Copies of this chain bind each other. A is one copy, B any other.
């Protein structure tokens, strides 16, 4: 392996000079700088990041906290973050917290111990105190925490959209599935839908659930049709739950969308491949990830933020689990 000493020797300068060139600190004559850079290139020298981060107190590592890597929505966000960070030559450490406060704490500690210089968190089960004690910039993604910059989709508008589309397409006995109460994103989309439904003249049921997991979704779907067998429209808390609702409706012989309409939330990769393909409220996950990365990069460079909170718009994706507008009469 090529060391800083090899570079110094080849350039005919001291190790300290090479170090000054690498870290862009102190005065180095332009000719010397060019020679050193030339030798770095020729010898294909890559500085040891650990030693370097200890010396300059700066690494190029970013910590990324995911709540659940097996929920297909979060890898989409992560890909956006990753691609943007790569463009700017930063690298990511991932931590998967399972929305477990202890795991979240552990990963934050690991990140600190490895001198990460910024953190993007898609989870916030911990008290704000923990994040305040960190001496690095933090951006929340798909989560909010007052006082911190964050990037999220317009969940309330998404909920409204879902309810309006459902009503417009003729459902009369709608079931509104309320997602986990501890997640602001779930609460927002629920409240948006509630607002529209409660000011309409439509009957509706509210069904509370506590998770977004594949395992539980099947149970919620079974419960739903047992408790509300006459429901003719389901506003699901996300696409995973919607997938299970479609499954259960078809299993018990209901026609989709003729007898039951279904609208999901997220637009995860498998949603368009379901049959019937799922109508859903699309969150621009990849773009959200990129925005969060850009926000963090600005913070790390001490640039002034024009906006601390970035809210991206959601869109209704009209596939085949909802009726055409003129079909409902």
Contact = CB atoms under 8 A, between A and B. Distances in A.
Contact of A94 (B92, B217, B240, B274): B92
A192 B114 CA distance: 45
Nearest to A217: B273
Given A50-B115, A113-B48, A273-B247, A75 B82 contact: no
A46 to B, nearest CB: 6
B61 A69 contact: no
Contacts of A91: 93, 95, 107, 110, 114
Interface string A78-117: 1100100010000111111000000100110110011100
Chain copies in the assembled complex: 2
A77 to B, nearest CB: 10
Interface residues of A, number: 51
Interface string A37-54: 000000000111111111
A91 B220 CA distance: 35
A138 interface: no
A214 B269 contact: yes
A197 interface: no
A244 interface: yes
A243 interface: yes
A81 to B, nearest CB: 10
A305 interface: no
Nearest to A320: B251
Contacts of A246: 275
Nearest to A76: B70
B82 A96 contact: yes
Contacts of A269: 70, 214
Contacts of A257: none
A79 B277 CA distance: 29
A303 to B, nearest CB: 25
Contacts of A79: 69-70, 96
Interface of A: 46-54, 59, 61, 69-70, 72, 75-76, 78-79, 82, 86, 91-96, 103, 106-107, 109-110, 113-115, 214, 217-218, 240, 243-244, 246-247, 250-251, 269-270, 272-275, 277
